[in-house]
Chains A and B, each alone.
Chain A
Amino acid sequence: MLITKEERMFRIIAYILLICGVVITLIPFIYMISASFKSQIYTFEYPPRLIPRDPTLENYIKALGKDLFGRNFLNSLFVATATTISTIFISSLMAYAFSRMRFPGKEVFFYILLLGMMIPPVMLIIPQFVIAKNLHLLDSLWGLIVVYVSITLSMQTFLLRSFFETIPRELEEAVLVDGGNRWVIFRKIILPLSKPGLAVVAIFTFLYAWDEFPWAHVAIKEASRRTLPVAIALFQSQYLTQWGLLFAATTVASIPVIIVFVIFQRYFIQGLITSGLK
């Protein structure tokens, strides 16, 4: 098809607008990285400079050596990893039951679970706090993990179920003919064929658990058990205007997120569409 003059013009305008948009989208991050290499005096410099004068690693050395930063980083890594593994395990079992089995109350269970996608998590913080207190789960990383798994479970089960639905049932019949059982089907057919779906669940869950703030903020008081978002929030109130230091910490905290996202973005967007558009 021929490209008309109007279309060519439109395409040029499209590039210009999109690039302007990208600049606005990314400039705060560029400033963050820039400030993280500035020494304290230069973070207040006016007019602000994008390229740091005398760039220094001092902030990174200080931030990483600060109090419990390493510990907080490991806490986040542990919580995000444990949440991800538990969620994959639990939600794939549930999704299998919902997609392949018949049992009384199936519809009811499914709709109750869907309710979980509609309740805003922050609303549940108060009763969760009281329950976690009674179960002695406050100030414990496991207290974070069980709540994260519960919150993300609905969406991930729903997502996996729709992946499982796309797997042809003939394969399973073949396994049954060969004398296999449902466990074999689940392990040898469903799971390997749903790898993209499982990847989506893994990425969603990891990013969610890595970034979660509201629950961790009320559930953890002990400094050595804080996860990164809470540690960073308190870090800021403690060292109020030490922007360089703060941004060195946030840059380090963003690295795993960016890596996970850039590598898996194809899956990620596919999953977003599957779960978002229903």
Chain B
Amino acid sequence: MKVKNKILDKSFLKKILSSKGAYLLLLPGMGLFFTFILFPLIYSLRMSFYKWNIVDIAASKFVGFSNYVRVINDPIFIRAALNTIVYALITVPGQILFALIVAILVDQKIKGRTFFRVAYYIPVISSWVIVTFLFEYLFGSQAGLVNFILKDILHLVDNKIVWLANPILVMIPLNLLGIWKGVGWSAVILLAALQNIPPDLYEAAVIDGAGIWHKITKITLPLLRPTLVFLVVVLTIGGFNVYISGLLMTKGGNPLNLSHFILTLMYKKTFTYLDFGYGSAISYLLTAFIFMVSVIQIKLLRRKVEY
């Protein structure tokens, strides 16, 4: 009680303790957040209903849902959406599978754990721009290592494959890049979850005569379930947002706009064709779709957890 009186005596403290103080602390951050995140979010919704004129905003025309109608009837968009969905369907399980293997192996009380953790994490901290060019070099250049391995070492193909000029083949390096860059991140999260599993569970299993495979499938995986659900949701969101690698490797959806992802198409429509309304409609459709998929995933996967 005495302490409390002392605080209230000081006028500066009074101000800080009253809500005004708290609002003062929030002001710079919330100011930026409203200006550059929340306001743009709403502004973009508005733009998606207009034939937006970037030079003279007053000349923009309200067009209702016509941008959205144009988007979903656009074969280029459909193709981009398919490419993106396939990308998510391949890279999400791919990252989780390899990350799971890495995490379980590193968890086996082996030496050099720090080394492995750092090594697997380097692609994660590398810039997308740089690693995209690395994959272009490995797949696409005349001295490409991938073709060398396929043709001269494994003798799987007779001629060098032209990876980057074909709208379907180019998806292979893009998907592999997505997996390769993300494994380390998921592995670190999984490793943390593995270390939370109490060791006596394993010891009990050993007493019952369980082998390693049995331990993994009967103890490890079920206990990792919440973490795996988290990874599926987060990685799916990331997968639908694939952007930089596609933009650079396909040089903006080439050939014939067949190799777009949703966001690279959004970029091209907006900043090359200056169709800002159309671009905003794409980004809102994507966000709505991502939101829907996340909710469904959480519902489906959570329900199973309860068993």
Contact = CB atoms under 8 A, between A and B. Distances in A.
Interface in B21-35: 21-23, 25-26, 28-30, 32-33, 35
Contacts of B287: 119-120, 123
A202 interface: no
A6 B206 CA distance: 12
A176 interface: yes
Contact of A15 (B7, B32, B41, B110): B110
Contacts of A168: none
B19 interface: yes
Contacts of B114: 265
A36 to B, nearest CB: 11
A91 B143 CA distance: 47
A37 B283 CA distance: 42
Contact of B192 (A21, A181, A273): A273
Interface stretch (A54-62, A64-72, A189-197, A252-260): A252-260
Interface string B27-71: 011101101111111011001000000100100000000000000
A81 interface: no
Q: In the complex, which range does the number of interface residues on chain B fall in?
A: 35 or more
B217 to A, nearest CB: 14
A15 B127 CA distance: 28
B142 interface: yes
A79 interface: no
Contacts of B163: none
Interface in A227-278: 229, 232-233, 236-237, 241, 243, 246-247, 250, 253-254, 257-258, 261-262, 265, 269, 272-273, 276-277
Interface string A145-170: 01101110110010000000000000
Contacts of B35: 131, 146, 150
Interface in B101-135: 101-102, 105-106, 108, 110, 114, 116-123, 125-131, 133-135
A124 B271 CA distance: 14
Secondary structure class of chain B's binding surface, majority of residues: helix
Contacts of A253: 127, 130
B197 interface: no
Interface residues of A, number: 98
A153 B33 contact: yes
Contacts of B178: none
Nearest to A186: B25
B192 A277 contact: yes
A243 B141 contact: yes
A28 B138 contact: yes
Contacts of B87: none
B297 interface: no
B127 A269 contact: no
A25 B123 contact: yes
The 4 lowest CB-CB distance pairs between A and B, nearest first, are: A127-B40, A150-B36, A103-B19, A103-B22
Interface of B: 3, 6-7, 10, 12-13, 16-17, 19, 21-23, 25-26, 28-30, 32-33, 35-41, 43-44, 47, 54, 57, 98, 101-102, 105-106, 108, 110, 114, 116-123, 125-131, 133-135, 137-138, 141-145, 148, 152, 180, 183-185, 188-189, 192-193, 203, 211-212, 227, 230, 234, 237, 240-241, 243-244, 248, 251, 263, 266-267, 270-271, 276, 279-280, 283-284, 286-287, 290
